[in-house]
Structure 1
């Protein structure tokens, strides 16, 4: 299908999303409640370095036949030429599990970007992804997200962020080596900025917005590192690009700084967005 108005800044991505929606309607039929964009494109900051994150709300968990057809769809998609078929990522979420935050953390049928598989995973069922979907989700079809998705409480988002920061580098090390890959070094810095921003504000920012916020509000000694990460964002994923000497160490030091700041932060009833400059 084609859209009356542009969904993203990229016509080829809009065309692909229209095709996907047609497949979802064909496969799920009456079980399709709605289809949405979340992530960076929902937050208004999607670019060529972003995944296109989607979520399909269903009346029930997909049947065996539906799962088989969806697996065929996602097995074929990354074999195509072009950029966006390799950068789609999303989950199939039963609508009954979207109506309450009690269901956050339950695994949904998930397609990781660039992968030809569907797995049961909670990747799209975290507090911060729910917040983006409800507050900023872009509707491809179906009711507005706010009409049926439960609001994520501020304290839930802050607890989730506080729990994620201390293990950020260890978690990252399970799938990327920041000493060997420049993209990983940049990812560590951005992830720390975004997580700390959520801890302080109970909101979620795009990667670039979180970096700009950190440049404005964190201690000036981090500006060279934050500027380096911001300016190199357009380089994207390059498996042959190693970080320059000292960059990985600077990223580790920055994450340690953010963790220390988070430990000292009093976010009870906080309504400002500016951490102390230390």
Structure 2
């Protein structure tokens, strides 16, 4: 039975219904369950968020199942409505999802707004598992805690520290530094990583920014306030960062990597 009201957005709930029923049709008996993780699971999803999903499957999808999933995802982003273009998620193999021993395995994945299904470890990270197990929203299937073992704090912290070492290069490698959204994303990711290192948990973007304002060095507060205030501007690829803000974001990321 499908969860009829997983989010506060009626349109998104309809999109998720189409996603789950389409996945069930494509996967047949291999379908185990479908879940929300990411910002909506953390209680912070809004119109500027993507909607992160995870569909759990019994085995690696067959060629025929992958073809059916590709047909589904080539269709969904091109339907009318805001939320069809804001889905992102993976098809997680149950045995690989169970414990941290399966971290980093590649699953079939669709990027935010994309209509292409590719193999990627994007959703197979310690923090996505933690969010799924601790806060995930069931769309269909068994309770998520039946599928995922607890994620040890030291594993979360280790992955967060490792990511901070190359965070600026990683982010600006795919997100142009002359786009304002990328400046904000770099700052937010640094805050989220520091939060995980210090607490052994995962916070939403907004909550991580607010936590850093309270617990971080006060000299970074104007930068964090700017990023928080500008978040509602959304993604505009033509909008340049505020003067000096990208340099400040780089300096902040370096500071966080050092103190973490």
Q: Which residue of 2 aligns with 1:266?
A: none
Q: Which residue of 2 aligns with 1:11?
A: 10
Question: Can you give the 5+ residue segments of structure 1 that lack an aligned partner in the other structure?
Answer: 263-278
TM-score normalized by the length of structure 1: 0.91
Matches of 1:108 and 1:174, distance apart in 2? 23
CA contact (8 A) 2:39 2:45 kept: yes
Matches of 2:93 and 2:18, distance apart in 1? 22
The reply on whether 1:54 has 2:56 as its aligned counterpart is no
Q: Which residue of 1 aligns with 2:38?
A: 39
Alignment map for 1:129-278 (pairs within 5 Å): 129-178=128-177, 180-262=178-260
3-state SS of 2:15 partner: helix
CA contact (8 A) 2:179 2:239 kept: yes
Spell out structure 1 runs of 4+ moving beyond 2 A: 1-4
CA contact (8 A) 1:74 1:116 kept: yes
Q: C-alpha displacement at 1:82, in angstroms? A: 2.1
3-state SS of 1:75 partner: helix
Matches of 1:150 and 1:219, distance apart in 2? 35
3-state SS of 2:176 partner: coil
| Worse-matched range after superposition: 183-192 or 168-177 | 168-177
CA contact (8 A) 1:37 1:53 kept: yes
Q: C-alpha displacement at 1:3, in angstroms? A: 4.5
Matches of 1:177 and 1:18, distance apart in 2? 34
CA contact (8 A) 1:2 1:15 kept: no
3-state SS of 1:98 partner: helix
Q: Which residue of 1 aligns with 2:89?
A: 90
3-state SS of 1:155 partner: helix
Q: C-alpha displacement at 1:2, in angstroms? A: 7.3
3-state SS of 1:119 partner: strand
Matches of 2:55 and 2:188, distance apart in 1? 27
Q: C-alpha displacement at 1:198, in angstroms? A: 0.4
TM-score normalized by the length of structure 2: 0.97
Q: C-alpha displacement at 1:44, in angstroms? A: 0.6
Question: Can you give the 5+ residue segments of structure 2 that lack an aligned partner in the other structure?
Answer: none
3-state SS of 2:45 partner: coil
Matches of 1:73 and 1:24, distance apart in 2? 8
Q: C-alpha displacement at 1:148, in angstroms? A: 2.3
CA contact (8 A) 2:3 2:138 kept: no
3-state SS of 2:201 partner: coil
The structure with higher relative contact order (CA 8 Å, sep 6+) is 2
Matches of 2:242 and 2:39, distance apart in 1? 28
* More helix by percentage: 2
